[in-house]
Amino acid sequence: MRESATCDLRPVTCLHLGAAYYPEHWPEERWPEDIRLMREAGLTVARLAEFAWSTLEPAEGDFHLDWLDRAISALASASIATVLGTPTAAPPAWLVEQHPDLLAVDESGRHVQFGNRCHYCVNSPQFHAATRRIVGAMVERFGSNPHVIGWQLDNEYNRVCYCDRCRSLFQRYLAEKFGSLDALNAHWTTRYWSQTYSAWEQIPIPIGLHNPGLMLEFKRFVTESYRQFQRLQLDVLRPHLRPLLLVGGAGGGVWVTHNFMGWFDGFDHYALTEDLDLASWDWYVGTGHHDYLSSGAAHDLTRGFKRRNFWLMETQPGSVNWSAINNMLNKGEARAMAWQAVAHGADAVLYWQWRSALGGQEQYHGTLVDPSGQPRPFYEEAQQLGRDFAAVSSLLANSAVVSEVALLNSYDSRWAIQWQRHHRDFDYVAHFNHYYRPLAARNIAADVISADTPLDNYKLVIAPALLMLNESRAARLRDFVARGGHLVLTIRCGMKDDYNALLPSRQPGPLVDLAGVEIVEYYALLDPVPVAGEWFTGTSRLWAERLRVLDETGTQVIARYGESNGWLNGHPAVTVHPHGQGRVVFVGAYLDEVSQQSLLDRITSAAGVQPVMETPVGVEARRRVTAAGEEVFIAINHERAEQLMRLPWPAREHLSGQSVGEELRLAPYGVAVLTRLA
Ligand code: GLA
Ligand code: ZN
């Protein structure tokens, strides 16, 4: 049996396996059996209490915290640490009865129903007061408990409220931001359709499509509302928590996180994570199976929030209950997924949830233990993972993913594109992944980071559909290229300003000189259009931009459009332009997958970017580098068939404890954790 004592106080530097556990659903006599089974599965952390408000405070100010204290202690005696959730995603019935208007209002103006989750108005002062009270009581009791290693605020923020209070707060936010109605009217071109505002009170919350400037500011207001709500909780918590001494949590303090939802776009995640210590996310597949080439991007997105390791706070123990077909993942698939998360920088994997509650809305969700209290078949897979993590936890301690490539993500660009797709099938994330996948297929590590972060230490930066290109973004990119960086700009780049107004210039706006081309027209396509050049012969689908070369001597035309709608025939589709020490590739096409792979292969090799390792199709290889500089390689077979791969060197495989020569045999969904021998 694994002893995890060294892990307990150093959560971010160890590898944790865990589950969401709701002891309040069960008689206390049952807890020892649950904890025994957890220990036998190798669990080292449990997440408690994130929906337990009605049990913790059954009436105003009447706190019942002893049971939670006993649960934390019982878990700790089995070397299982606790992450505590603040229960604010589930305001209880008595609170709603006291303050009915803390219920959020939906788009049609109706209060949302009590009894599901996140039914609160994020700006309700009564809800804020109740939040301070319950979070305060919890942290006074558990803030210095050595077994509570971290806190999770609320659960999956997602609700948007349309109540009158939110509307007037939105108007106040606009007044502060714009200073005058004249400025707002000008930025939003409100003369259009006579939208001119002569009083702040006239401005609505957008329902459905509306003025693009108004829609963008409302998203920012929603972000700000959650940020304030989050700060309110942080202000209550932080004075009671052991401080984090070192960046990354290695100093042994208590961290605070929120469990985000990957590519969910309800608010700007960079703004929200700025105030947190640790980023975490909940990964569910739903129907079908995961596509590893794209799922890596979601992990990297979460790692990019704080630009360091993250937690996988929830993932499915085989199946969910909310999808069209709640199929079980194949045997071994979830283990490979857990390893993929770790390979991309996760320091913990937690299943949701431990045991099926007998009642409530999620009776059929996957769990480790079934309603009878006995382990499900899936439990064995978790147990295998428990053995895996125990074997390599110290090897991977204090290790991080290192990348030479960054992909820039921008919520404002994404929102603006999604509201005006121009082609029904144009999807920001799909287009983003169109650039991520060819890298993943070659085992090239990439960071997914905000378009507003420094770009030091990268060789290659890709800015997929960076629609909003303000001066500070442009300046950073210019500087990156001048210093020798390779930059890829794509379709839908450089069209908008910070207010979601069109720039009075041709694309890519302020980067025209850098790109050596301008876009003279964009076309939404009914049918694919031929694109050919030295590097590939293929097609562009959905979208095509007609480029005009500005720097005739410097710009190299890589590919041109073939015969199509007449407007594109023979015009440049992909160009390369040297600038300073670096170069800029402009991709005006949305290439087919084979051509896109060839394009990215050329781009990465010109930029001198190295793959982690070569693998057969379906096998992923990633690398984490420890603080001491040791390289740990993780190879994951995402296929249902055995795969044979060549290693560039003899290695030690740490899950089996065996040495391997230059040939590595990976079982279906098999995993290897390797360090180089000699
Ligand atoms: C979300 C929630 C969990 C649970 C799962 C079920 O991620 O955070 O509480 O409802 O979904 O898949
Ligand atoms: Zn509201």
Q: Which residues line ligand 1 (CB under 6 A)?
A: 155-156, 282, 284, 314, 320, 322, 352, 362, 365
Element (H, E) at 560: strand 556-561
Q: What are phi and psi of 81, to 5 degrees?
A: -80, 165
pLDDT digits (tens, 9 = 90+) for 416-459: 999 999 999 999 999 999 999 999 999 999 999 999 999 999 99
DSSP codes, 528-555:
-EEEEESS-EEEEEEEEEEEEES-TTTP
460: DSSP letter: E
Amino acid letter for position 52: A
What three-state secondary structure class fits 470? coil
Cα(88) to ligand 2 centroid in Å equals: 15
Cα(279) to ligand 2 centroid in Å equals: 26
Nearest to 604 by CA among 476, 473, 458, 428: 458
pLDDT beyond 90 at 415: yes
pLDDT beyond 70 at 356: yes
Catalytic residue among 24, 57, 314, 381: 314
pLDDT at 247: 46
pLDDT digits (tens, 9 = 90+) for 102-155: 999 999 999 999 999 999 999 999 999 999 999 999 999 999 999 999 999 999
Mean pLDDT, rounded, for 370-388: 98
238: DSSP letter: G
Residues 54 and 40: their CA atoms lie apart, in Å, by 31
Mutation probe of ligand 1 site: the residue of 321, 352, 354, 367 with most atoms within 8 A of C-beta: 352
- Give the end-to-end CA distance of the chain in Å, rounded to a whole number: 31
pLDDT beyond 50 at 332: yes
pLDDT at 89: 98
Q: Is 68 left (phi over 0), alpha (psi -120 to 50) or beta?
A: alpha
Catalytic residue among 156, 381, 518, 620: 156
* Gyration radius (Cα) of the chain, Å: 26
pLDDT digits (tens, 9 = 90+) for 13-66: 489 999 999 999 999 999 999 999 999 999 999 999 999 999 999 999 999 999
325: DSSP letter: S
CATH architecture of the domain with residue range 16-159+225-392: Alpha-Beta Barrel (3.20)
Mutation probe of ligand 1 site: the residue of 53, 362, 364, 368 with most atoms within 8 A of C-beta: 362
Dihedral (CA of 32, 37, 40, 43) sign: negative
Band of residue 12 on the pLDDT scale cut at 50, 70, 90: very low
Q: What would the two tokens of residue 281 be?
A: 């996310």
Cα(352) to ligand 1 centroid in Å equals: 7
Mutation probe of ligand 1 site: the residue of 282, 315, 320, 364 with most atoms within 8 A of C-beta: 282
Residues 538 and 240: their CA atoms lie apart, in Å, by 60
pLDDT beyond 50 at 411: yes
**Could you tell me the CA-to-CA distances from 641 to 312, 438, 585, 667 in Å, in that order?**
27, 22, 38, 7
**Could you tell me the CA-to-CA distances from 511 to 156, 411, 456, 478, 494 in Å, in that order?**
37, 20, 19, 8, 8
pLDDT at 246: 53
Tokens 């960046």, residue located = 247
> Residues 24, 357: contact at Cβ < 8 Å?
no
Which residues are CB-contacts of 354 (< 8 A; sequence separation ≥ 6)?
Answer: 19, 20, 21, 22, 34, 38, 46, 367, 368, 369
Burial track 95-127 (b if 16+ CB lie within 10 A, e otherwise)? bbeebeebbbbbeeeebbeeeebbbbbbbbebb
pLDDT beyond 60 at 248: no
Q: Give the rounded percent of residues in the chain with a pLDDT score beyond 90.
A: 96
Give 405-607's CATH code, choosing from 3.40.50.880, 3.40.50.11540, 3.60.10.10, 2.130.10.30.
Answer: 3.40.50.880
> Residues 378, 368: contact at Cβ < 8 Å?
yes
pLDDT at 533: 96
Give the CA count within 13 Å in the CB-facing half-sphere of 433.
Answer: 15
Band of residue 244 on the pLDDT scale cut at 50, 70, 90: confident
What three-state secondary structure class fits 418? helix
By the 10 Å C-beta count (0-12 exposed, 13-18 middle, 19+ buried), 22 is classed as buried
pLDDT digits (tens, 9 = 90+) for 291-314: 999 999 999 999 999 999 999 999
pLDDT beyond 50 at 385: yes
Q: What would the two tokens of residue 240 be?
A: 């009671």
Q: Nearest bound ligand to CA 326?
A: 1
Q: Could you identify the atom of ligand 1 that is nearest to the CA of residue 259?
A: 8
Q: Nearest bound ligand to CA 161?
A: 2
Band of residue 8 on the pLDDT scale cut at 50, 70, 90: very low
Nearest to 121 by CA among 162, 60, 171: 162
Mean predicted lDDT score pLDDT of the chain: 96
Mean pLDDT, rounded, for 507-514: 97
pLDDT at 678: 75
Mean pLDDT, rounded, for 622-637: 97
Q: Could you identify the atom of ligand 1 that is nearest to the CA of residue 316?
A: 12
Cα(669) to ligand 1 centroid in Å equals: 25
Q: What are phi and psi of 309, to 5 degrees?
A: -55, 155
DSSP codes, 334-346:
HHHHHHHHHHTTE
pLDDT beyond 50 at 636: yes
Element (H, E) at 673: strand 671-676
Amino acid letter for position 43: L
314 is known as an active-site residue: yes
Cα(267) to ligand 2 centroid in Å equals: 16
| 619-676 under CATH 2.60.40.1180, yes or no | yes
Domain ranges of the chain: 16-159+225-392, 164-212, 405-607, 619-676
pLDDT at 14: 82
